[in-house]
Structure 1
Amino acid sequence: MDAAELAQLLTPEGMALLDRTPSVSDGGEIVRVVSRLRAEGHDPGLVAAVLTQAKLRQKAGAKFGPFASRMLFTEAGLAQATRLQVAAQHAGRFAAAGITRVADLGCGIGGDAMAMAALDLDVTAVDRDEVTAAVATHNLAPWDAARVELGDAADFDLTRVDGVWMDPARRTPGHGATRRLADPDDWSPSLDTVFAAATTTPTGVKLGPGIDRDLIPDTAEAQWVSVDREVVELALWFGPLARPGVRRAATVIGAHGTAEMTGEADAPDVEVGGLGAYLYEPDGAVIRARLIGDLARAVDGRMLSDGIAYVTSDRAVTTPFAQGFRVVDTMPLDVKQLAARLAADDVGTVEIKKRGVDVDPAQFRKRLRLRGRRSVTLVLTRLEGRHTAVLCERLGAVAG
């Protein structure tokens, strides 16, 4: 979407047309809607823009819930936007620290700024892209204390605010398909600019969860966040936004609500031991935060193998920080033996998990030729130095 298309969409005709256009994904239905709208005399460019927005709103429901029905999006902006439930966590940090004037630098379509404004924070949202800034202006319109400025985050006067939230652009500019930028010096603003701001102003930073840990300053609280078992971000917190005594945090959001594990540093490891009656797969946020040792101690567990993020224990424990499984049996990782065993057990559906073995789960599943009625989980890993298949059943009581 370019500036001209957005300007057309933001007219009374365009917004009225968008509000009464259903979200459609079926090709035939899309053709019928396009034909109907054009027959009504609407400009073809406006019709295309409206249909694109209708599809993006439908897709955005997973991140923004009912708010999506009144928001505008770009394809790239939606892909990079913070989920509203995570943005609420960010906003809560600023409110808890007593910070009332916040700059959201690199605001994108305004997801984080929306959450801040909803907590009555005074928000100045800044983005260097004209279309993105206009979309953010629309999305923030319900809040009088939020405003959008077009500009470069690196040039913003930090003395205007009490705290800063930064989401450096880590992809090439554009509103559609973009390319990831690997070098932090190429981000906008650069990581050096971000960390320089953090030395003078309470600062929160959103980064990709897979960032090189060597880039994380010792002065920051590093918080990895997962939603429904997907690790979605690394947030760094500086100054009063960082919690005393916390340098590592794993925040896990799911059906259970929000749970958190914290530490003063990476957790010390636990010993490797024999396979117990239960197997635990730590949440990705726990793994990224390197708090697996604390999780293992919480379930009276031990590591299954060196360098592999599976924990085993002799008791079942309910925890939102891991998925739990009851161990049924172990077998050599041999597809023919496994196929015969699963056929004998009337297994037709297999969930495959793997760590420490070079296996394509989709291809492996095809080779098993499953036809039964039961379901099991196969954990493919190394056990005592040997490639092993662990037959498991999920612990239904494990939260998350």
Structure 2
Amino acid sequence: MDTAELRELLTPDGLRLLDSLPPFDERADVVAEVSRLRKQGHAPELVAAVLTQARLRARGVAKFGEFASRMLFTEAGLEQATRLPVASSHAGRYRRAGVSRVADLGCGIGGDAMAFAALELGVLAVDRDEVTAAIATYNLAPWPAASVELGDASEVPLDGVDAVFLDPARRTAGHQATSRLQDPAQWSPSLDVAFGFAERMPTGVKLGPGVDRDLLPDDAECQWISVDRSVVEVGVWFGDLARPGVRRSALVFGPSGPAEMSAAGDTEDVEVGDLDEYLYEPDGSVIRARLIGDLARQLEATTISRDIAYLTAPTAEQTPFAQCFRVVETFPLDEKRLRQELRARGIGRVEIKKRGVDIDPAVFRKRLQLAGSNEATLVLTRVAGRHTALLCERV
């Protein structure tokens, strides 16, 4: 979206037209819809803007639920925005820490700022991109205690602010087709600048989950968060926002709501044991937080091989921190043998998981030439150091 489209959209007629559109349907004839709106006398820029917003609102439901129906988005802004449950978790930290007004520096389209404002915190939201700041202003309009400024996160005055939240831009500038920046010094603000705010006041920094752990400070709480088994971020918390005695935590949002593991640091792994009847795949947040040892002790499990993040135990336990599989059969990791075994069992659909082996699951699946009506899970890994295929069923 450019400024011309945004100006067309942010008018009473533009917003009325957007709200009048039917729910977005990926299968609909877009050309026919454009023609219909043009025949009604709407400008090409406005038609493009409202149809883009209708599509983004439909996609935004996955992150913002029913709030998406009254929000505005950019492609990049929606992609990078914090999911509503996660943003609510962030906001809860600030409220519990006694913060009254927070600066959201690099606010994007305002997802986290909305969560802060919803908990009745004062919010100063700042973004350096004009279009993004305008969209954040619209999204935050229902909350009078929230204001938006156009500016650089590292230079904005913080008078009256008693805590900071930053989500450094880790992609090139723009609203779509952006690329990832690998060097933390090129982020906006840079990682050093973001962490530097902690010397002045309580600070939280949202980073990508794959950030180099060597870049994370020892004096902060680092919390990896997953939503529906996908790790979405690591939050780095300083000062009163960090919990006493907690330096590593894994927060999992699943069908039963949030669940968390925490520790004073990386936990010690358990010993390698014999493969038992059940296999556990720890959640990615647990793996990245290096809390696999604590999870194994909870499950009375061992690891199947050194440096492989699969656990094994004689019993199946329900846990939000891992997926559980029953091991049906064990085979050498031999393609021809597996093809024969799967065909003999009539397995035509297979979920392939792998860890510790150099295999492309999509290519491997094609080479298995599957046929049949049954389905199973195939785990390609190392057991006691040996390349092994585990035929499993989900518990």
Residue pair 1:23, 1:51 contacting (<8 A) in 2 also: no
Residue pair 1:166, 1:206 contacting (<8 A) in 2 also: yes
Output the CA distance in 1 between the equivalents of 2:384 and 2:91. 46
Aligned equivalent of 2:197:
197
Output the CA distance in 1 between the equivalents of 2:324 and 2:26. 39
Residue pair 1:276, 1:312 contacting (<8 A) in 2 also: yes
Output the CA distance in 2 between the equivalents of 1:308 and 1:199. 38
Aligned equivalent of 2:251:
251
**Aligned amino acid, residue 347 of structure 1:** I
Instruction: Write out aligned runs for 1:321-400 (5 A).
Output: 321-395=321-395
Aligned equivalent of 2:83:
83
Aligned equivalent of 2:126:
126
Deviations 1:152-179 (A, max 9, x none): 1101223421111111111111111112
**Aligned amino acid, residue 162 of structure 2:** D
Residue pair 2:5, 2:49 contacting (<8 A) in 1 also: yes
Shift of 1:26: 4.3
Output the CA distance in 1 between the equivalents of 2:126 and 2:24. 33
User: Gaps (5+ residues) in structure 1?
Assistant: 396-400
Aligned equivalent of 1:217:
217
Residue pair 2:306, 2:384 contacting (<8 A) in 1 also: no
Aligned equivalent of 1:9:
9
**Aligned amino acid, residue 193 of structure 1:** V
Q: Do residues 284 (structure 1) and 284 (structure 2) align?
A: yes
Output the CA distance in 2 between the equivalents of 1:38 and 1:279. 58
Residue pair 1:158, 1:201 contacting (<8 A) in 2 also: no
SS at match of 1:246: coil
Aligned equivalent of 1:398:
none
Aligned equivalent of 1:34:
34
Aligned equivalent of 2:109:
109
- TM-score normalized by structure 1? 0.97
Output the CA distance in 2 between the equivalents of 1:106 and 1:384. 47
**Aligned amino acid, residue 107 of structure 1:** C
Output the CA distance in 1 between the equivalents of 2:233 and 2:291. 16
Residue pair 2:246, 2:265 contacting (<8 A) in 1 also: yes
**Aligned amino acid, residue 384 of structure 1:** A
Residue pair 1:270, 1:296 contacting (<8 A) in 2 also: yes
Q: Do residues 304 (structure 1) and 304 (structure 2) align?
A: yes
RMSD of aligned Cα (Å): 1.1
Aligned equivalent of 1:97:
97
User: Gaps (5+ residues) in structure 2?
Assistant: none
Output the CA distance in 1 between the equivalents of 2:217 and 2:179. 26
Q: Which shows bigger deviation, 380-389 or 131-140?
A: 380-389
Shift of 1:23: 4.3
Shift of 1:24: 3.8
Deviations 1:122-148 (A, max 9, x none): 111000111000000000001111110
Shift of 1:346: 1.8
Distance 1:26 1:96, change over 3 A: closer
Shift of 1:188: 1.1
Residue pair 2:167, 2:206 contacting (<8 A) in 1 also: yes
Aligned equivalent of 1:146:
146
Residue pair 2:306, 2:385 contacting (<8 A) in 1 also: no
**Aligned amino acid, residue 286 of structure 2:** V
- TM-score normalized by structure 2? 0.98
Count of residues in Structure 1 that have an aligned counterpart in Structure 2: 395
Output the CA distance in 1 between the equivalents of 2:150 and 2:24. 33
**Aligned amino acid, residue 56 of structure 1:** L
SS at match of 2:55: helix
